[in-house]
Structures are given as C-alpha cells and as structure tokens.
C-alpha cells in the first residue's frame, strides 16, 4: 500500500484541478483513471468540447456539395482536437513529480483505502487522509426493448464516421436537442421522439415556441407524447394517443438522461451513501456521508455542467486548504447555454418561476429581426427576454434565444451577481455592431 496526501478517483474537471493545485503545493497525489481515452474528463473527451466542435463545423455543411465527405472530415478534425487536449491534460498532471496518474478502476476497501484494478488484472492499494470521487455520469438506457446495432449513446455517435440518412433522437434534453440540431445541419433527416406532452416544458411557453420554430426551420420533426415500445433493427415502435406507430431509420440516438457513475466504487465499504436516484449525497462543502471523502462533478447530481465541476474544486479546496468560506450556497450567479443552430441561453428565474414566487414582475422582449448584428450574420431567428422585479428594478432572469447568446448572457449573470438594476444596461455603451448593444433596447423598455 502506498500513502498519499490526496487520492482522486476520476480525471474530471474538479478532480484534475484539485490534483494540480495540491501537487503545486508539494502534496503527494494519486489520480486514478480507468481509461486513457478519458484523460481530462467527460467535457474534453465525450462532452462539451467535441460536441461544440461538431456544432460549429455543422454550420458550414451547407457550403459543401458532398455532405458525407464533409461530415467525415469534421469527425476527423474533432478527433484531432480531442487527442491534443487529452495529451495536454495528461501532461499537466504527469509532468508534476508530486502526482502519479494511475490507470485502472478504483474501488473502496475502507474509508481511506482504495484498490486499483489494472487492465492486466494486477491490483494496487493506495491510501490518503482525503479522497475525491470525480467519476462523472454515464448514459441512461432507454426504457424499452432494444434489438438493434443502430442504437447509439451520445458517446458512441460522436465516433460515427458515416453521416446517417435518417437519425431518430430519443429524448428532449440538452444532449438530445444539440445532436438533433447539428446532424440536421450536416444534412441528416432528423426526428425527435419524446415522452413528454409539451415541448421543453421547463421553459416559458414563448421561449419553447421560439426554439421549436427554429428546429422546424432546420427540417427537424418533433413527435411528443410517445411511449417507446421497442427498437428492432431499423424500426422504432412507439405508442401515442392509444395507437402504435413505427419509424424506420439508419441511426437512433438514445439521449434519455444520465446517471451517476458509481457502479465500480464499492461505496458501501467507505460508508458513502447515495440518494434514490443514485447520486452521491453531499453537504454544502461537498463532503459525503464519510466526512473526509468528497464528491465533485456529475457524480453528485444537480447541474451537470463542467463549470459547476470547476466551482466544486473551489469549494473543496477552500474547505481543505482555506477558510471554508466557499460552499454550494454561495456559488456565483451563473447561466446555462443550449448550443443549437440558434443557441438558447438563460440565467436566473423564468417568467413563470418569478410569478410563482410572488414577485411583481415586468417583462421585456426584443426580436432579433431588428438587431443590426443579427442581420449582418444572416441569423436573425429568435428573441431576447428579460424579467425584472417591478419594485426594486433588479434583474430576476433572462432568456436569450439568439446567435452569440452564450456570450452575452454572462453580462446579465454578472449584473445579477452584483445586484445591479436594469438601468445599467439602459445606459451602457456597447460596441457596434454587436448583439450586446441590443441590451440597450431590451432594457430600455422598462
């Protein structure tokens, strides 16, 4: 058994950043990763970076007559990017003499001991006073019979080198909608099949309607209230309105959710408990039910975003090496973005949420069709929406279905974090032409 100051199970954003920080402080760290193809974590290898690279490349597919060739080229470009980033992330840790990157599957023997089972069957035991669980999440399989080799997870479809003629997307979450949009851009016929009766039910109706209209302009068909029955070969069977329906396709994307990746951890040996959904239970400092074991990133549930994982690092580091001032209760105000052909970005409360909480609200909307920058980009789909507290003038939330929304939404988040009123955007001088300058007109309505 080898002793360390810190053991990290999983090479994700929070874990690798903690390892790097501890290593720089002269602490001995072991980072356990079961797959060399996952150095750097989900975001770099199978999540944010490869999908957004494909989203961006898909926007240029319309300029290529040979869609199949361009798609294959795009996959190759994506793979080259991932390979470079993976190597950079591995070197970031491996080049530090205080950090050992160990390939293998980590599982708890006790509260402070972790067994590593390597690919050749040999084992190694490591021990540390503090252990970080950073194993992320895995795809959840659809709840239906599957007898087909044409059903792909989001990870698997990223490796598909042949552009599907017809892709059926099962689900309506972020992953489902992003893949639907990018494959439609590349030239696939795309059908979304979802169980829920309303499109994007968590969004305000006007926002959901705008996104649906944009997807339909891409040629995407959306089927709601569908109860999946089976996928056999090239045929999907589902029930809707009491009738059975079938769709034939040459590819199916199962994007029906993700669950915490804890199967290999033997958490019971360490006294680490999970909730009814399988997420590791943590407190405000991200300590598990075993106080010296922390869970960070997707494995604890909640918002499954890499920037939340990065903030998890800040919280744990503050608790282990700082003044413990950082907790999940004082995270900075932050936005989220859905990277469609026309991105949807939002922050704070939705209109219906603000009303439900009893706020007296005012709402402003601005169509992109009147924004010069949107005209220049030939991308004037969508609109900007802001919700404010009528009494204080403070911004309660915003939803931007707009080109460049993933950038400008951060301005709203910062203003909200600082407690600014809508007037800061009424009077701010922005560059021209930019999408940001539309904030003058949006907030000028109040």
CA distance 98 to 22: 9
Closest C-alpha among 273, 304, 272 to residue 12: 304
* Residues that constitute the known binding site: 52, 106, 135-137, 171-178, 257, 298
Looking only at the bridges linking them, the beta strands covering 395-401 and 344-348 are antiparallel
pLDDT at 119: 87
Domains (range + CATH), the chain: 2-138+258-321 (3.50.50.60), 142-255 (3.50.50.60), 335-444 (3.30.390.30)
How many helices and strands in the chain, by DSSP H and E?
13, 25
pLDDT at 415: 98
Enumerate the active-site residues.
Answer: 432
Cβ atoms 394, 404 nearer than 8 A: no
CA-based end-to-end distance of the chain:
65
**pLDDT above 90 for 141:** no
In the three-class reduction of DSSP (H, G, I as helix; E, B as strand; rest coil), residue 303 is classed as coil
CA atoms within 13 A on the CB side of 201: 8
Give 367's strand partners.
383
More confident residue, 119 or 117: 117
CA distance 89 to 98: 16
Identify the sign of the CA torsion 215, 217, 223, 228: negative
Cβ atoms 403, 343 nearer than 8 A: yes
Mean pLDDT in residue range 237-254: 96
* CA 197 to chain CA centroid, nearest Å: 24
Cβ atoms 442, 384 nearer than 8 A: yes
Q: What is the 3-state secondary structure (H, E, C) of 371-403?
A: CHHHHHCCCCCCEEEEEEECCCCEEEEEEEECC
Cβ atoms 61, 186 nearer than 8 A: yes
Cβ atoms 105, 34 nearer than 8 A: yes
What percent of the chain has pLDDT above 70? 100
Looking only at the bridges linking them, the beta strands covering 105-108 and 113-117 are antiparallel
Mean pLDDT in residue range 329-354: 97
Find the farthest-apart pair of alpha carbons in the chain and give their distance in angstroms, rounded: 67
* Residues that constitute the known binding site for FAD: 52, 106, 135-137, 298
What percent of the chain has pLDDT above 90? 98
Cβ atoms 377, 403 nearer than 8 A: yes
State the chain's mean pLDDT as an integer: 96
Structure token digits, residue 94: 């491996």
* Residues that constitute the known binding site for NAD(+): 171-178, 257
| Residue 30 confidence class, pLDDT cut points 50, 70, 90 | very high
pLDDT at 143: 87
pLDDT at 382: 97
pLDDT at 329: 97
pLDDT in tens, 414-444: 999 999 999 999 999 999 999 999 999 999 9
**pLDDT above 90 for 108:** yes
Structure token digits, residue 85: 């980033």
pTM, two decimals, is 0.95
Cβ atoms 78, 237 nearer than 8 A: no
In the three-class reduction of DSSP (H, G, I as helix; E, B as strand; rest coil), residue 434 is classed as coil
Structure token digits, residue 396: 């309660």
- Using left for φ > 0, alpha for ψ between -120 and 50, and beta otherwise, residue 364 falls in beta
> DSSP class of residue 287?
B
pLDDT in tens, 273-283: 999 999 999 99
| Residue 220 confidence class, pLDDT cut points 50, 70, 90 | very high
| Residue 103 confidence class, pLDDT cut points 50, 70, 90 | very high
CB count within 10 Å of CB 327 equals 14
Location of structure tokens 């589902």:
238
Radius of gyration of the chain (CA): 23
Mean pLDDT in residue range 234-251: 95
């Amino acid at each position: 058994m080898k002793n360390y100051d810190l053991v990290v199970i999983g090479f994700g954003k929070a874990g690798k950043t903690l390892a790097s920080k501890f290593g720089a402080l002269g602490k001995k760290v072991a980072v356990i990763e079961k797959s060399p193809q996952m150095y750097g974590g989900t975001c770099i290898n199978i999540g944010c970076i490869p999908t957004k690279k494909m989203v961006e490349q898909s926007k240029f597919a319309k300029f290529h007559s040979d869609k199949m060739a361009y798609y294959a080229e795009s996959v190759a470009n994506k793979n080259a990017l991932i390979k470079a980033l993976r190597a950079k992330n591995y070197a970031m840790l491996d080049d530090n003499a205080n950090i050992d990157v160990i390939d293998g599957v980590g599982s708890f023997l006790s509260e402070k001991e972790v067994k590593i089972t390597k690919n050749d069957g040999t084992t190694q035991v490591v021990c540390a006073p503090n252990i970080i669980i950073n194993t992320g999440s895995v795809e959840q399989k659809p709840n239906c019979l599957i007898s087909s080799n044409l059903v792909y997870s989001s990870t698997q479809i990223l490796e598909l080198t042949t552009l599907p003629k017809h892709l059926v997307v099962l689900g309506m979450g972020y992953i489902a909608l992003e893949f639907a949009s990018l494959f439609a851009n590349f030239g696939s016929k795309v059908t979304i099949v979802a169980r829920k009766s309303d499109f994007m039910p968590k969004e305000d109706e006007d926002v959901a309607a705008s996104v649906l209209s944009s997807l339909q302009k891409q040629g995407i068909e959306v089927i709601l209230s569908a109860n999946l029955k089976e996928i056999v070969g090239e045929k999907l069977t589902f029930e809707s309105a009491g009738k059975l329906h079938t769709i034939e396709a040459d590819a199916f994307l199962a994007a029906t959710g993700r669950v915490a990746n804890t199967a290999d951890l033997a958490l019971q040996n360490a006294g680490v408990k999970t909730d009814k959904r399988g997420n590791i239970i943590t407190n405000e400092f991200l300590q598990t039910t075993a106080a010296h074991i922390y869970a960070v990133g997707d494995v604890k549930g909640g918002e499954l975003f890499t920037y939340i994982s990065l903030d998890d690092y800040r919280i744990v580091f503050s608790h282990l090496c700082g003044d413990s001032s950082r907790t999940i209760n004082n995270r900075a105000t932050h936005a989220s973005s859905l990277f469609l052909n026309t991105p949807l970005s939002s922050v704070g409360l939705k209109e219906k949420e603000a009303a439900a909480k009893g706020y007296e609200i005012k709402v402003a909307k601005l169509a992109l069709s009147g924004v010069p920058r949107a005209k220049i980009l030939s991308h004037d789909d969508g609109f900007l929406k802001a919700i404010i507290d009528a009494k204080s003038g403070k911004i309660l939330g915003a939803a931007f279905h707009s080109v460049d929304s993933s950038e400008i939404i951060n301005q709203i988040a910062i203003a909200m974090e600082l407690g600014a009123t809508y007037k800061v955007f009424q009077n701010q001088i922005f560059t021209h032409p930019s999408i940001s300058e539309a904030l003058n007109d949006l907030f000028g309505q109040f």
